[in-house]
Structure 1
Amino acid sequence: MANKYTLYGAQLSLYTGKLRSYLRYKQIPYEEVFSSRKVYKDIIIPKTGVQFIPVLKTPQDEYLQDTSAIMDVLELEFKERSVIPNTPKQKLISAILEMWGDECLLLAAMHYRWNHDNFPFIYEEFGEIALPNMPAFIRRFVGKKLGAKFKGFVPMLGITPNSIPAIEDWYEHHVLPILDKHFAKHEYLLGGRPSTGDFGLMGPLYAHLYRDPASGRLMKQIAPNVSKWVERMNQTSAACGEWLADDEIPDTLFALLKRQFVEFWPLQITTLARSQAWMKENPEKKKLPRMLGEHTIQIGDISEKCAVRSFSHWKLQRILDLYGSYSDSEKASVDPLLNELGGLEMMQTKVEQRVTRENNLLVKEGSN
């Protein structure tokens, strides 16, 4: 088909799982190309300038990178089956949940992949990147070396022997039970159709936590309704229902959202402050480094050091911009909910030094 998109990704890739699910739900015609080492060398790096997947090639031969940015573009192009609610509370909560899935559930996804018994499955999957046509035992050998690079990122996220008990308690006794009860009552986060929040959760909950053997068994045991939601999100012909009436936010999500504002949002605010400080201290530099030192993440009663990832500035900026775009009447509708959830004060955070994406890199907004 002349108007078909091309998705460069992989089954093991967290963010590919997010975008693939979105393309299926939107019924956007596409073909998927596995991102082997050759595809990285010949297509992904030359066309995008970075080494991240997924990448989406448009029918006009444009190459798009970053799932949130890609979805922004496609929502404008494909108006049907919108995933962005048109009421203020649902739109904001959907965006908050997308960021949480992209940024915070990454901890559980990376921990359960690399610190639980998912081998040789994972090594074979990584080996396929380098040697897609070789026997499994050879892929395992090569994949172990490739996977070591990704496993090396685990401590940088704050996943250490000190924090692992708290991460497992958070995921197994908070995230999964809450979502299981929610999905027993609702098909998706906000009712009968998926929102951007659903796709944010889909990346980690599918590509790592459902597909990987150890965490997949755990999800099916603890949270069968979450497993069913993952399978529903992967359907190629999902029905397009309706979000809940009257801009309702299900109370089954309140505990999840409240804990986000206690533990996750302070980390995002600190990232924003660190990023803005770096830009003020380096006025001559346009591109931001990916890492900006360390700060502290709090999970339950445990504190641990983790890397300050500058890209989180862009993610948080999007949320604050959305809230800032609301009229007085829309804020009057949203603010009582934010106050109940413990997020009203943090939503007033001002972004003094803005960032943007340019050629798939994070740069100061307005810089030449």
Structure 2
Amino acid sequence: MTSLEPVRLVGGTGSPYTQKMVALLRYRRIPYAITWGQPETTCAALCVKVPKPTFMPTFFFEEGGELTAHCDSTPIIRRLEGEHAGRSVLPRDPALAFIDYLIEDFADEWCTKYMFHYRWHLAADADNAGTKLPLSMDVSMPQEQFQQFKDYISQRQIERLWVVGSNEETAPIIDASYRRFLAAMEAHLANQPFMLGRRPGAGDFGLFGQLSQLVGFDPTPREIAHAVAPRTVGWVDRMPDGSG
């Protein structure tokens, strides 16, 4: 079954999972309509129950005649495979499908530690994120509201660094892991353009989501990537729109 109605979602430019899913929708040529903003606000406007927990992006699907909200990207990818034909991102071979799933899970669950650590552990990166994230929601936000939003989100996220295991003791370990990951990406991309061959799988989009922030949003990991992983930087530049 292929639906002609655009898939509706809400997310943020600084959200790696939003970037993951928008790139996937473009690659699969699935019509979509995205709202840049907070999921809770959009859910309230649509009179939809807010999912628990709530993440970006949040998708909206019709179920039993009612609009429902969903925000776990991995099962959403599988759902879209059933609802939209063509340009699948799930390998047919069971062994390759399992490897693709592991790559996606590695991106979603481990690479996000790199992203969150670099974004909020160092003062310069935290100031960058605290400035850009509110303005990505509303570039015309009044200055007083912007400052309140910046202070709130910065404090909230810095206080949550423990969730990804980021602290002074683990910082060198996370940094070393990120550099090993970039080295592996460089070696791999020297031989083929995607993780499992000549076309992207769900794992590619998972990696792209995190790297879109590490290479393009946050200063410290961006500087590292540009210094040691030029192929990866080029790959990230190409991944947002593979619709052609």
TM-score (structure 2 length as normaliser): 0.86
Q: Aligned residue for 1:32? A: 34
Kindly indicate whether the alpha-carbon contact (under 8 Å) linking 1:6 and 1:56 is maintained by their aligned counterparts in 2.
Answer: yes
Cα deviation for residue 20 of structure 1 reads 1.0
SS at match of 2:10: strand
- Give the letter aligned to residue 93 of structure 2: T
Q: Aligned residue for 1:210? A: 216
Kindly indicate whether the alpha-carbon contact (under 8 Å) linking 1:210 and 1:216 is maintained by their aligned counterparts in 2.
Answer: yes
User: Which stretch shifts more, 38-47 or 181-190?
Assistant: 38-47
Cα deviation for residue 209 of structure 1 reads 4.3
**Is residue 18 from structure 1 mapped to residue 25 from structure 2 by the alignment?**
no
SS at match of 1:187: coil
Identify which of 47, 57, 60 aligns with 1:57.
60
In 1, Cα distance between equivalents of 2:85 and 2:70: 19
CA offset digits 1:208-252 (Å, max 9, x no partner): 4432233222212211111111122101524xxxxxxxxxxxxxx
CA offset digits 1:231-287 (Å, max 9, x no partner): 22101524xxxxxxxxxxxxxxxxxxxxxxxxxxxxxxxxxxxxxxxxxxxxxxxxx
Cα deviation for residue 189 of structure 1 reads 0.4
CA spacing shift, 1:92–1:136, aligned 2, 3 Å: farther
SS at match of 1:227: helix
Identity %: 26
In structure 2, list runs of 5 or more residues that go unmatched.
Answer: none
In 2, Cα distance between equivalents of 1:211 and 1:44: 30
Cα deviation for residue 137 of structure 1 reads 7.7
In 2, Cα distance between equivalents of 1:196 and 1:148: 33
Q: Aligned residue for 1:128? A: 135
In 2, Cα distance between equivalents of 1:102 and 1:229: 18
Superposition CA RMSD, Å: 2.6
Q: Aligned residue for 1:334? A: none
Q: Aligned residue for 2:93? A: 87
Cα deviation for residue 206 of structure 1 reads 1.2
5 Å-filtered alignment, 1:337-352, equals: none
CA spacing shift, 1:198–1:86, aligned 2, 3 Å: same
**Is residue 199 from structure 1 mapped to residue 205 from structure 2 by the alignment?**
yes
In 1, Cα distance between equivalents of 2:58 and 2:156: 21
- When the two structures are aligned, how many residues end up with a matched partner? 237
CA offset digits 1:94-135 (Å, max 9, x no partner): 011111111111211111111232254311233237765325
Kindly indicate whether the alpha-carbon contact (under 8 Å) linking 2:215 and 2:236 is maintained by their aligned counterparts in 1.
Answer: no
CA spacing shift, 1:217–1:135, aligned 2, 3 Å: farther
Q: Aligned residue for 1:166? A: 173
SS at match of 1:144: helix
In 1, Cα distance between equivalents of 2:234 and 2:160: 30
TM-score (structure 1 length as normaliser): 0.59
Kindly indicate whether the alpha-carbon contact (under 8 Å) linking 1:127 and 1:141 is maintained by their aligned counterparts in 2.
Answer: no
- Give the letter aligned to residue 198 of structure 1: D
Q: Aligned residue for 2:44? A: 42
SS at match of 1:6: strand
In structure 1, list runs of 5 or more residues that go unmatched.
Answer: 239-368
5 Å-filtered alignment, 1:349-368, equals: none
SS at match of 1:76: helix
- Give the letter aligned to residue 55 of structure 1: T
5 Å-filtered alignment, 1:1-368, equals: 3-36=5-38, 39-40=41-42, 42-43=44-45, 46-50=48-52, 51-58=54-61, 61-116=67-122, 117-128=124-135, 133-135=140-142, 139-172=146-179, 174-238=180-244
More relative contact order, 1 or 2 (CA 8 Å, 6+ apart): 2
